[in-house]
Amino acid sequence: MKKIIEKWVHIPGLHCGSVALRDVITYWGYNLSESMCFGLGGGLGFFYTKGEDMSPTKIIHLRGPEMEPNFFSLVDKPISWKYEPDDDKAFEMAKEWINEDVPILIQTDIFYLNYYKSSTHFPGHVVSVWGYDDQTEMVFLADTGFEGLKPVPYENFKKGRSSKAMPFPLDNNWFEVNLKKPIPSLDELIPEAILRNAKSMIKGARSLRGESGVKMIKHWAEDLPSWADAPDWKWCARFAYQVIEKRGTGGGGFRWLYRDFLKEGEKITPALKGYKFSDYMNLMGNKWSEMSMLLKKISDNEKDDHLFKKASTMAKEIGELEEGFYNKVVKILG
């Protein structure tokens, strides 16, 4: 059997999760920008993970946890990622929803997506699923900046969804997108989403990836000088540069993507404009971009303890800047 949802949607963009959200929301008749989807989902975060079984052994990640289910919990109903340990059963469940013309979101590892040709595992990558073909044994995905639907062999599809690569092993993480009620007014949703994200950064938010928040930025800043002693220090620095400036962030560690959400929000909810949240977020993006260039410089040269200490100082400044922003948001909107 072959089935592709007839009115599938894919609008290429910057970040996997926010592109997937925009695609499925557009399918259900709502015209939201990628940055709006990112902001409503609470896209800002910061994780720091260390482990000898990882590559690199020290990893940062600057996107918020649970952004995709958070989006739908705000606009429709409480929802969370679903898990299915049996690969074949998970696959059949996906096909059942496609047969009902309901797209699903999944998390996968780009290492198994043939069109990336990646030699590096990167689990947690979000795509939307729109079809399958039993004869060719292909699943059809919509993925970030790629045009159209990308065919992926059944075997790769299953392996990617159940990848155990650290620091984010997967267990066929998924949920269907079947809206049951109209999305409320953005004028109401935007301030609530901004406040939620700020509170999660101040208080900390836990997920399968670990803990996200300002506290983790400060922990990373304190730990950065020790990166010089890591056997893979060059790869640690290079990967950190990539996850800040490249790898679907839109630059500035996702802060510029969130800035665009704030700018759009200031037009929809004029009361926000006087707080200059978008200006502050632009500054944060600039600082993260500067940090990424320093990390790139570290990876391009011989080991220099001084540069790691400089990166530590810069990270501390970023942590203070971020904490100041979130406290300002809570004070104004809380």
Domain ranges across the chain = 2-31+77-176, 186-333
Residues 6+ apart with CB under 8 A from 321: 283, 284, 287
Q: What are phi and psi of 18, to 5 degrees?
A: -75, -30
User: pTM score, two decimals?
Assistant: 0.95
Q: In the predicted model, is pLDDT for residue 150 greater than 90? A: yes
Please give the helix or strand (H or E) that residue 133 lies within, else none: strand 123-133
Helix (H) / strand (E) element for 88: namely helix 87-99
Asked whether the predicted pLDDT for residue 207 surpasses 90, the reply is no
Q: Mean per-residue pLDDT for 184-202?
A: 96
pLDDT in tens, 229-273: 999 999 999 999 999 999 889 999 999 999 999 999 999 999 999
Q: What tens digit of pLDDT does each residue of 17-51 get?
A: 999 999 999 999 999 999 999 999 999 999 999 99
Give the C-alpha separation, 171 to 63, whole Å: 20
Instruction: Check: CB of residue 224 under 8 Å from CB of residue 305.
Output: no
Q: How far is CA 220 from CA 64, 122, 290, in A?
A: 16, 21, 16
Q: Which is nearest to 34 in space by CA: 275, 330, 250? A: 250
